Structures are given as C-alpha cells and as structure tokens.
Structure 1
Amino acid sequence: MNMTITKAAVAWFREEWGCKEGDSIRFFVRYGGVSTVQDSFSMGIAKELPNEIGISTVEDGITFYMEKDELWYMNGKGLIVDYRPETDEVDFKLD
C-alpha cells in the first residue's frame, strides 16, 4: 500500500489551505458522500497532527497521511490524490 500526492494536489493544498513545510494533512473516512473508492463512504480532509499513522508520504515538506484504523477503506490498494481544475477539488483514486 502506498500513497501518491500529485504536484498539482500539493500546489492546491499550499494555495487553498495555506499549507507549508512541517504541516500535516489527514485523509479520513466518513460515512456518506460520493466516492469512486468505496460505496456509501467518502474521504474527508483535515489539517491536524497524526495519532497513529497507517500510511503516509511527505511531499514538498508536507506530511499527508491516513490513520492506521482507516486503512480498510483502501482495500489493500494504494491511494492517489490529484487535483481536478474543472471542479477545483482534490480527487481520490485507488491504484
């Protein structure tokens, strides 16, 4: 299992969320919403310090992660986080 954050997504987090080197971005599972990953669940995003990291990557000095107890969401696959300019949102896909 791995996590990939595209350069476009990193730039979006820097611009829209004001992220800088040393910040942490958590991707978490929430019930409801629309997802291309799991039916009836979607990804949430929070700027917060980790508790128990299950998977992470550091891009441009920013730590992106998911907590250990939420890795079930990925079904053993990798996560790709990209930016979609047409919707001005980040997009989540399994790899």
Structure 2
Amino acid sequence: MNKTELIDAIAADADISKAAAKRALDSVISNVIKVVTKGNSVQLIGFGAFSSGKRAARTGRNPQTGEALKIKASKTIKFTAGKTFKDTVNKRNK
C-alpha cells in the first residue's frame, strides 16, 4: 500500500473527502517528525512508538577494498510495534 492508497482507505473508513484525509495524514506524519526530531517519542497505544536514538561513531570496512573507514556518529529513528499490532500480525500469519 502506498500513500495514495492509504489516503483512499482513510477517506472511505472515516467517510471524509480524499483531500481531508490527505491533510489529516500529512499532519500526523509532520507532527511525528517534529516530535521525534526534538528527541521526544510519540506513543500510539496499540499501534507502536516512534523515537530517536544515537548511533556511536565506529570503524567500518569498504566491502570492495577491505579498507577501514570511519563512520560518523548519527541519530537513528526507531519504531517499536505495540502489543496489539504484534498480536494481530502474528494471528494472521498462523
């Protein structure tokens, strides 16, 4: 499912226009990004939590040459699925 298909599904489920569904989805995404960028987390009970983490600087290897490379420290984005989400996925895969 891509973003357009998700907007169509939201519009149908909520009985709203596709334009309103797009604005709502864009707002959710934008606000999750803003909050996580500030170092906070967004927790949606039953669905999951978005948060940021830190990845320390480390040494890696160039796979073509085997040469050691320095990899800079960076921030990462994490998503942890909620219990209800996990349970639903696991029941459908049985």
- TM more than 0.5: no
Larger radius of gyration: 2
Bigger share in helix = 2
Bigger share in strand = 1
